[in-house]
Amino acid sequence: MDLAQLIKGKRVLVTGASSGLGLHFARLFARCGCGLVLGARRTEKLEQLAPELHQAGSPQVDCLALDVTDPDSVAAAFVAIHRSGSLLDVVINNAGISGEGLALTQEVQAFDAVMHTNLRGTWLVAIQAARAWKENGHSGGVIVNIGSIQGEGVAPGLSAYSASKAGVAHLTRNLALEWARYGIRINTLEPGYIRTDSP
């Protein structure tokens, strides 16, 4: 059985879906016949993308405003998701920023923005998904947190980013340990350097 047959008909949330890797993941799942929930701060791009994803094979594409740095936005997004259809099967926890800057000159606000988006945001989305699955007795939910090879190494100007992605990897290990009893599978994908059109 190939991937498309295995996941066809599943309902998938992709955060940060308006560009970059999030857009790539959305297109991949559409081709596999998955129902999609696309979350991003820039919803106009999601709305423009929806017809393409329908044509590619997705039976349903829902677009919603989602700011992973805002707990209220994340909670509201999951309320909207559950009102619009069945429970999610898969969460692609992709939203993130690079926050480049040398440590000695980086502003505190810039450091915090990286941590709030990449690490805290990943945690907020994962928690909401897991709570929904646990409360509804749904076994077999899958979360894929998008980390980076930079979470396993270092480079000049990326101290905040590297620390945040290392945190994502370790957070994933902890959540996998805690949530195995509920049948929730959670893993980290750590891609290398990829050129995208993200700002």
Contact 64, 43 (CB under 8 A): yes
CA 179, chain centre distance (Å):
18
**Residues recognised as catalytic:** 161
Residue 165's SS3 state is: helix
Contact 45, 20 (CB under 8 A): no
